[in-house]
Amino acid sequence: MATFDEFLNLDLRVGTILTAAPLEGAIKPAYRMEIDFGPEIGVKRSSGQYTVNYDPEAMVGRQIVAVVNFPPRRVAGFMSEVLVLAAPDPQAAHVLLAVERPVPNGGRIS
């Protein structure tokens, strides 16, 4: 079981996807994204396997939820700086977690 203090150590923020494109060299089809987390955090990069449920053009402008305080991780030669959160659909493909209505970029999830 995780403690409440452990949960508080995660920095979950809302960001808006600025760009999305196929991630060349990935073993499984994936996208590379640039996401705006507002003036405090700025624009960060991420990758994810969202190709089943989303076209890159449809991702641009979406607000998502991400963990912004994990260490960067290299994926197929691409440095992913944040972990975008998703849930599995009935076929186990990724569905992006999002906020119910527009909020300022960088808003902390609590």
> Is the pLDDT at 110 greater than 90, yes or no?
no
Q: What is the mean pLDDT of the chain?
A: 96
**What pLDDT does residue 64 have?**
98
Looking at the chain, the whole-number percentage of residues with pLDDT higher than 70 is: 100
Write down all domains in the chain, each with its CATH number in brackets.
Answer: 4-96 (2.40.50.140)
DSSP state of 38: H
| Partners of residue 74 on adjacent β-strands | 79
Over 90: is that where the pLDDT of 85 sits?
A: yes
Q: In whole angstroms, give the CA distance from residue 70 to residue 61.
A: 23
Q: Cα torsion at 23, 25, 30, 31 (round to 10°)?
A: 0
Give how far Cα 101 sits from Cα of 6, 14, 36, 51, 104, Å. Answer: 28, 11, 17, 24, 10
